[in-house]
Structures are given as structure tokens and as C-alpha cells.
């Protein structure tokens, strides 16, 4: 007898945030402004160096910045209105930190107060827009399209991102701290683990009710500036029948390199929770082989907590852990999609790099961001965050020679090479008498 899917979204949020340090205002100069296609005006500008650093996912494709457009909004009577736009120049990767991006932009030297909005990897969208009106009106129209699989390979399209400064007046001593960039998409990873690893082989994943487009900039009401996180999805208008926002027809991911995982492949726009109509809710249908059978059967997976569907939010990583499978699934993807019951037990985790796994010893704690890492046979690298309030500093070592620790401060960067067969290893984190074992799986 089938039972309802057991899905728990642990409230640990991996915010795939990009932050920056200060802006460095250099020598003043004169140039012609890119002012919305109008005749350029000669005016005094500051050449500004902007530094953005990614502290979350250590993945070059997800951190790639190919273009940067800066929109300047003048503060007038408490409101903000479009003034001009400029292009970021000479985008480079820092020689001391591969996650740090550096670029230059010329901003006008004026006595008025401005807010600067940064749009990365959306040059075509920006160039096709007409700019006039308030900040809210303009930013709501900057959207990215995703009509198929999003390709984040070196030859594919980099993820669109957004960030903005506080209201400021430029002068020779101006500095802006904690400037951020936020990815407009979210990522879904699949992992077969626990009891399921011995009875189930992953073969394909379908995404139903995906969104064909999304706002690059979230609505202000859905953005927590102090916490640097979104609190709800920001959905574009859906008033064009010829281009519907929601597409029920699934997109299919196959050609798995592993029977136990699918990483860095599924990228989606935000989607609101739909608890009224099962057939309109964004969900997954996974296909796989159960109990040694060569036949592929199918199971529906909903993004939910305690039986209630939850929003899918930008800049989040959702790891779908298949932890147990008790019987063969439906014979077709459509049959599985139409059913709310399944014989698959799932745990969905939104990753946070802090306080995911905690080891407590009286008043001292040793906390690691993740207790299990899974890699494909092709290998890869990952980041482990460690915090401890023990009187002795923490240390980390690799228990297996094939695991290489590349950096151990302020966080741990480690890598595993390619392997011809599946294997399991361990990292050991120690702080005084506190010990955490980190499992490294490669399959």
C-alpha cells in the first residue's frame, strides 16, 4: 500500500550570496555617458573599482560574471527615478581569491544622492529596454528567460544576478561596504542515499510546472536587506496568453553520469507554493530502477514541509535526498505526476553553510556546515565551514590520501580527483575534545 511522500525541508538556508568589500573611488575624470541612447553629455565622472566576492558555492560556472550594467537612480523627494546607465569594464578575477571579481565603472560626479543598481549577465535584456520612470517600474521589467535547460557550462549562459548600493553621494572619500550580488535562479540537486542507495538507481528527472521567465530583481517587499535573503518569490506578470509563465509540460534531464546523484544541472526560476491544485504545483518526477529490476518506474516529489508545499526561492540550493524506496513506482511519468502518493521517502534540504550539524559539549560547540558531501566519479571540490567556541582552535585533516585539503582558513576548501569506481572517505574536524567526522562519497 502506498504512503504519502515524507518530505521535510530543514530550515537551513544556503543563500548563494555574492558580497563585496568596499568600493574604491579613484581619480576623477571626464568621459561621455551611456545615457539611454540619447545624445551623450560631457560631465565629470569617477572611475570606480568594484569588488564582489562569492562566499557560498565554490563553482566557477555559478560565479561567472561576463557583463555588468550599472543603473543610476536619482533620489528626488524621497523617491528614486532613472538618471543614466553605464557598463562595467575590465571584469577580472582576483589573483588572490578566485571567488573575487573586480571591474571598473565610471559614475557621474554630482552633488545629488543616488542609488546604484548592478545587473550582471543580462546585457541583451538591458540593451533591449527603454529606460524611463521610477526605480520600481524599471526593475520590475528586467527579466530573464528560461524556456529549456539552463546551460551553465563554460559555453553556456551565466546566471543573471542583481545587487544595489545604499543611497549615497559620491565624493573623493566615498566607500560602500557590503555590496551584494544575488543570483536570479535556484538550483536543485539529487542524491540517492541511506537505504535507498542499495535498492534504487536514478535514471532520469522531470520538472513539471516550471516557470519560463523570472524577475532578475526581487520585489522590495520580498527582500530582507539586513539578512541578505529573499523571503518570498517575486513573480513577473503573466498577462500574455502567447507566452504563458507556467509550463506544465515537463523538461527531462537524463544521461546521468551517476546512478546515485545529479549535481549542478537543474536551474530554475522562482515558483510560489501551490497548495490548492496538485496539477499546477512545481514538482519533480524521478525515474529509476527499483530492487534490481531493469525497468524504469516513476515517483513524484513535491517541495513541501510537513505536507505543505513551500516556495522555491532564488539563490537557494535545494538538495533532494532520496533516503528510502519501498516498491516500484508508476509505469509512466504522467501517471506519477497525477498521483500524490508514492513509495519513495524524501528529505529536501535547503543548504546553509552555518549551523547545519552541531556537536555540543557542555558550554562548547563544534559546528560544521555539512556532514556528508557527494561527488561524481569525475571528481570536484567543495567548501566546508567550521565554527567552534571551544578554547582550542579547530583543525581539519583528511583521513584518506585521495582527499586533498587546499585551504583550511577561514573555511575548508578540499577536492577529490576522478575515480574509476565508487569510494567513501572522511574528513576529521577537531577542536579540543570535540570531534566531527565528515563523510565524503564519490559514485
Residues 6+ apart with CB under 8 A from 306: 8
Q: Please identify, among 136, 159, 183, the residue that sits at the C-terminal boundary of a domain.
A: 183
For residues 231 and 237, what is the distance between their CA atoms, to the nearest angstrom? 19
Residue 61: exposed, middle, or buried by beta-carbon count in 10 A (0-12, 13-18, 19+)? middle
HSE-up of 153 (CA within 13 Å, CB side)?
4
Are residues 267 and 152 in contact, defined by beta-carbon separation less than 8 angstroms? yes
Could you tell me which residues are beta bridge partners of residue 181? 18
pLDDT score, position 225: 78
pLDDT score, position 368: 82
pLDDT score, position 20: 33
Q: Please identify, among 318, 350, 382, the residue that sits at the C-terminal boundary of a domain.
A: 350
pLDDT in 10s for each residue of the chain, 443 residues:
343 444 444 333 333 333 333 333 222 233 344 544 333 344 455 555 555 544 334 466 777 889 999 999 999 998 999 999 999 888 877 666 555 677 778 888 788 999 999 999 999 999 999 999 999 999 999 999 988 899 877 778 899 999 888 898 876 555 555 567 888 999 999 999 889 999 999 999 999 999 999 999 999 999 987 777 889 999 999 888 888 999 999 999 998 888 998 988 999 999 999 999 999 999 999 999 999 999 999 999 999 988 899 999 998 889 899 999 999 999 999 999 999 888 999 988 875 322 223 333 333 567 787 888 989 899 988 888 888 766 678 899 999 999 999 888 778 999 999 999 999 999 999 887 677 889 999 98
pLDDT score, position 385: 84
pTM here is 0.72
Kindly state whether residues 314 and 333 are assigned to the same domain: yes
Count of domains forming the chain: 3
Kindly state whether residues 131 and 86 are assigned to the same domain: yes
**E strand segments, 61-185:** 68-76, 79-87, 89-93, 100-108, 114-120, 143-145, 161-164, 180-183
Kindly state whether residues 315 and 190 are assigned to the same domain: yes
Beta strands 17-19; 180-183: pairing state: antiparallel
Kindly state whether residues 316 and 398 are assigned to the same domain: no
Kindly state whether residues 157 and 191 are assigned to the same domain: no
Kindly state whether residues 7 and 60 are assigned to the same domain: no
pLDDT score, position 9: 41
Kindly state whether residues 101 and 243 are assigned to the same domain: no
- The per-residue b/e assignment along 254-284, b for 16 or more CB within 10 angstroms, e otherwise, is eebebbbbbbbbbbbbbbbbbeeebeebbbb
CATH number for the domain that contains residue 58: 2.60.40
pLDDT score, position 19: 33
Kindly state whether residues 65 and 7 are assigned to the same domain: no
What residue numbers bound the domain in which 367 lies? 357-442
Phi, psi of 335 (to 5 degrees): -65, -40
Kindly state whether residues 153 and 118 are assigned to the same domain: yes
pLDDT score, position 181: 82
* Dihedral sign, Cα of residue 302, residue 308, residue 309, residue 313: negative
pLDDT score, position 435: 79
Q: Please identify, among 165, 183, 201, the residue that sits at the C-terminal boundary of a domain.
A: 183
Kindly state whether residues 322 and 366 are assigned to the same domain: no
Kindly state whether residues 211 and 116 are assigned to the same domain: no
Kindly state whether residues 363 and 222 are assigned to the same domain: no
CATH number for the domain that contains residue 425: 2.60.40.10
Amino acid at each position: 500500500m502506498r504512503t504519502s511522500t515524507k518530505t521535510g525541508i530543514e530550515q537551513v538556508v544556503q543563500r548563494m550570496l555574492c558580497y563585496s568589500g568596499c568600493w574604491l573611488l579613484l581619480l576623477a575624470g571626464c568621459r561621455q555617458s551611456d545615457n539611454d541612447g540619447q545624445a551623450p553629455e560631457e560631465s565629470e565622472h569617477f572611475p570606480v573599482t568594484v569588488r564582489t566576492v562569492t562566499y557560498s558555492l565554490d563553482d566557477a560556472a555559478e560565479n561567472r560574471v561576463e557583463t555588468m550594467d550599472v543603473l543610476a537612480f536619482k533620489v528626488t523627494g524621497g523617491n528614486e527615478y532613472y538618471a543614466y546607465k553605464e557598463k562595467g569594464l575590465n571584469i577580472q578575477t582576483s589573483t588572490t581569491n578566485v571567488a573575487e571579481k573586480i571591474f571598473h565603472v565610471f559614475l557621474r560626479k554630482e552633488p545629488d544622492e543616488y542609488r546604484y543598481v548592478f545587473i550582471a549577465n543580462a546585457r541583451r535584456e538591458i540593451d533591449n529596454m527603454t529606460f524611463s520612470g521610477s526605480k520600481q517600474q524599471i526593475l520590475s521589467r528586467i527579466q530573464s528567460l528560461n524556456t529549456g535547460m539552463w546551460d551553465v557550462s563554460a559555453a553556456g549562459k551565466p546566471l543573471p544576478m542583481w545587487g544595489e548600493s545604499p543611497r549615497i553621494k559620491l565624493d573623493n572619500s566615498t566607500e560602500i561596504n557590503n555590496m551584494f550580488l544575488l543570483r536570479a535562479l535556484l538550483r536543485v540537486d539529487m542524491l540517492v542515499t541511506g537505504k535507498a542507495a542499495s535498492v534504487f538507481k536514478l535514471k532520469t528527472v522531470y520538472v513539471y510546472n516550471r516557470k519560463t521567465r523570472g524577475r532578475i530583481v526581487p520585489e522590495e517587499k520580498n527582500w530582507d536587506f539586513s539578512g541578505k535573503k529573499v523571503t518570498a518569490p517575486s513573480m513577473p506578470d503573466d498577462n500574455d496568453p502567447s507566452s504563458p509563465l507556467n509550463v506544465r509540460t515537463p523538461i527531462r534531464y537524463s544521461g546521468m553520469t551517476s546512478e546515485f546523484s545529479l549535481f549542478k544541472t537543474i536551474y530554475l526560476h522562482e515558483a510560489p507554493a501551490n497548495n490548492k491544485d496538485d496539477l499546477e504545483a512545481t514538482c519533480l518526477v524521478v525515474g529509476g530502477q527499483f530492487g534490481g529490476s531493469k525497468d524504469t518506474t516513476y515517483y513524484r516529489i513535491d517541495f513541501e514541509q510537513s505536507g505543505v508545499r513551500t516556495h522555491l526561492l532564488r539563490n537557494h540550493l535545494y538538495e533532494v535526498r532520496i533516503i528510502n524506496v519501498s516498491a516500484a513506482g508508476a509505469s509512466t511519468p504522467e501517471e506519477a505526476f497525477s498521483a500524490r502518493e508514492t513509495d519513495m521517502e524524501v528529505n529536501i534540504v535547503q543548504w546553509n553553510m552555518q549551523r547545519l550539524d552541531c556537536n555540543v559539549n557542555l558550554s562548547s560547540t563544534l559546528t560544521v556546515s555539512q556532514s556528508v558531501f557527494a561527488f561524481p566519479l569525475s571528481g570536484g571540490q567543495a567548501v566546508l565551514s567550521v565554527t567552534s567556541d571551544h578554547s582550542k582552535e579547530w583543525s581539519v585533516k583528511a583521513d584518506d590520501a585521495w582527499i586533498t585539503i587546499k585551504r583550511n582558513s577561514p573555511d575548508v576548501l578540499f577536492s577529490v580527483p576522478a575515480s574509476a569506481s565508487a569510494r567513501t572517505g572522511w574528513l576529521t574536524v577537531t577542536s579540543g575534545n570535540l570531534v566531527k567526522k565528515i563523510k565524503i562519497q564519490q559514485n
